Structure formats: C-alpha cells, structure tokens
Structure 1
C-alpha cells in the first residue's frame, strides 16, 4: 500500500557540539535518546525521541557552524522551534529552566495580553520561542 503523503520524521539542527545541544533539548523538553545515542557514545549525529518513541529532533555535527544572527544580520535564522506552555505561570517557570540550562534571552514579550512569549537562543545560537498560545475559544 503506497502512502499518499510523505511523513515528517524529525527536525535536524546543525551545531558544532551535538552532545551539548542534544543535552540542552533533552533536559528542557523531557525527551530521551534513541537507543545507542545515550552518553557517553561519541557521535556526529544524535536523535531525541518523545515518550511515544517517535523521533522529534536530531542534531548533526558541523564543526564550524556560525551562530545565527537574530532577527537580522549576516546569518539570519532559517528555522526556529515553537514551544508552547498552557499559562503565563508556566512561561515564567520555563524561563528560569531555559536560562539555567544555557539558553540566552533574545526578546521578552511575556506581558503581551494576546500571546505572551519569550524568544531565546539555545547554546548553539538557534532561536526558539516559548509562548502561551492565544485562546481559540
């Protein structure tokens, strides 16, 4: 039986240190390594999975990866991750966690009445957003 559509397997982030970036997202998002990718395995490609075992994010070693300049500049972002939380209190709690794990705050719109959000750079400089989605009620 042929598939009508291809399946998106995972998002891959290039980075100069795959273990450092994989550990950041593993700890921040509560993911786990694909069997064989756990530390101390030395790899140039690592995969993190969700609780269901479905690959979600992978990391590819690129030794001389230049950090993106966000939002403008000579190396603008080509991709960013959107991460949601249910309430502003959760946004604040995740802010503390993100910084403790090595993220840098790039923009704070946590007081936005429609869509509170914060934009960060992960340890490799990739931008990601954590936000409370607007109510669709």
Structure 2
C-alpha cells in the first residue's frame, strides 16, 4: 500500500467576488489562458498556454460574500498565498502592476528576494527571485 496519493492535476483555487475578472488578471500576469464552462460561470480555470505544461493551474471561484484577507495583520487573516518565481523582481514588478496587481505597502523581505503584491480581489501573492 502506498503512503501517498497519486494526483493527476494540481489546482490552487482562489475565492473571489468575480471569477472571470480574477482569472483574466492571472492569465494576463502569467501569459496563460482561461477556461470556463457555461454550466458553472462561478468557476474559471487559469491554465498554461497550449503545449506548455507546468502540472499546476489556478482556479477562481465566485463567493458572493468574499472578504479579502487583511495582510499582514487584521481581522481576516491570510490563509494561503502564491509564490511566483521570476528571474528578476525589478523586471516582473511593472508587468504585475500593468496586469492589475498592487504592490503592498508592507515589504518584509530584508534582502529583497521577494516582493508582496495584492491581486485585484485582495489576495496576497509574492514575486520571488530564483
């Protein structure tokens, strides 16, 4: 008997007020594409470009009463976040902001190896240097 499960897909799902809008943000940010079903417009997948496989996807799920986390301290804590590794934060920063991200005023990295941003729904994510 195996001591672990075998997964066939890895998806990080984000709650948000508008699934299509948040999915478009991540698609622009990563150069990926969105995929959705007319049967469930409250769930939109963000997946790599055709022919590109990362073994990972992001899903955006509409939650009517979504409340964004109040990071780093606040009544609504961060439960999880994405770390997106890039070659250069300085080069990726304007791309993230142009896609709709906001650089968080609190930047805990003393050595500058990561920067904290908020996506349009208020979820923190980090750009990290390789």
Q: Quick check: 2:12–2:59 contact (8 Å CA) kept in 1?
A: yes
Q: Quick check: 1:47–1:55 contact (8 Å CA) kept in 2?
A: no
Counterpart selection for 2:127 from 110, 127, 130: 130
Q: Distance in 2 between matches of 1:84 and 1:54?
A: 15
2:12 matched residue in structure 1 = 11
Q: Distance in 2 between matches of 1:42 and 1:5?
A: 28
1:78 matched residue in structure 2 = 79
Q: Distance in 2 between matches of 1:130 and 1:111?
A: 14
Taking only aligned residues, the RMSD between alpha carbons, in angstroms, comes to 2.7
SS at match of 1:47: strand
Of Structure 1 and Structure 2, the greater strand share is in 2
Number of equivalent positions = 124
Q: Quick check: 2:84–2:125 contact (8 Å CA) kept in 1?
A: yes
Q: Distance in 2 between matches of 1:22 and 1:80?
A: 15
TM-score by length of 2: 0.81
TM-score by length of 1: 0.78
**Where does 1:51-130 land on structure 2 (aligned, <5 Å)?**
51-52=52-53, 54=55, 56-86=57-87, 90-106=88-104, 107-108=106-107, 112=111, 116-130=113-127
Distance 1:53 1:129, change over 3 A: closer
CA distances 1:50-75 after superposition (whole Å, capped 9, x unpaired): 22285511011012201110011100
SS at match of 1:44: strand
Q: Quick check: 2:25–2:99 contact (8 Å CA) kept in 1?
A: yes
